[in-house]
Structure 1
Amino acid sequence: MPLHKPYKDIPGTTIFDAEQSRLGYWLNQFCMSLMSAENRARFKADERAYLDEWAMTEDQKQAVIARDLNRCLALGGNIYFLAKIGATDGKSFQQMAGSMTGLSEEQYRQMMLAGGRPAEGNRSLADWENRKKETL
């Protein structure tokens, strides 16, 4: 019996729950392998060959190759594990987060210093639908 997941209604938010954990198990194991200098070197030398050693889906492998971290999240990646990819590429967490929001590193930094994204209009998809109905 599936659980009710009210957090699925928050726009732009992927909650790393048990379902996501199962979905991304091998993706996250790959990311953790990048803690080893030897594995980082192997990955950088031939990304596809290294990824093919892992029981990841083709979608997961393509998301890693494209460095599409939002897609990696949707496919079960955990941001703390995905940070290993960024570190392998010489990127800071702030640079990675900026790329995930469509902002430059400086724009992302300024947004966070100003208090982050406003909650207004970002609370739930149901709120969006209700607002549409009110304007009709």
Structure 2
Amino acid sequence: MALDKPYQDIPGTIIFDSEQSRKGYHLNQFCMSLMKAENRARFKADESAYLDEWPMSAEQKQAVLSRDLNRCMQLGGNIYFLAKIGATDGLSFQQMAGSMTGMSEQDYREMMLKGGRSPEGNRYLHEQEK
């Protein structure tokens, strides 16, 4: 890592910075390809074969196949690009976000309507009591 990145001290947060962008370039380009109907059809017909057309890491391909969006983000995926996978699967962004938190869609919706997650435990690690 070339620069000091104090934002890496926030638990559970992945910041899409230039490093993440480089790491996830091909993953994100794959996601953007899903904007075309013919590419969505090819992907759904044989997901592994379609992914093999992209110079992504094996880990990135497996994360896509598993629909592990949190892992995709760790591997450089940008949530706005990854949303194309969910849309291809017929999922709303809310359904995707719920799956990323381990909540049902209904529980996620209710949490957000009540103001979102509690800030407790979501501060900088160095600010938390030891």
Fold match (TM-score > 0.5): yes
Q: Percent identity?
A: 77
Q: Which protein, 1 or 2, shows the higher relative CO under an 8 Å CA cutoff with sep ≥ 6?
A: 2
**Secondary structure in structure 2 of the residue aligned to 1:12:** coil
Match of 1:9?
9
Distance of 1:27 and 1:96 partners within structure 2: 17
Q: How large is the Cα RMSD of the aligned pairs? A: 1.0
Number of paired residues? 130
> Does structure 2 conserve the Cα–Cα contact (< 8 Å) formed by 1:42 and 1:50?
yes
**Matches for 1:91-110 after TM superposition, within 5 Å:** 91-110=91-110
TM-score (norm 1): 0.93
Distance of 1:38 and 1:54 partners within structure 2: 16
**Secondary structure in structure 1 of the residue aligned to 2:72:** helix
> Does structure 2 conserve the Cα–Cα contact (< 8 Å) formed by 1:26 and 1:54?
yes
**Matches for 1:1-136 after TM superposition, within 5 Å:** 2-128=2-128, 131-132=129-130
Distance of 1:58 and 1:75 partners within structure 2: 11
Distance of 2:6 and 2:22 partners within structure 1: 19
Gaps of 5+ in 1: none
TM-score (norm 2): 0.97
Structure whose CA Rg is larger: 1
Distance of 2:125 and 2:40 partners within structure 1: 39
The aligned amino acid for 1:10 is I
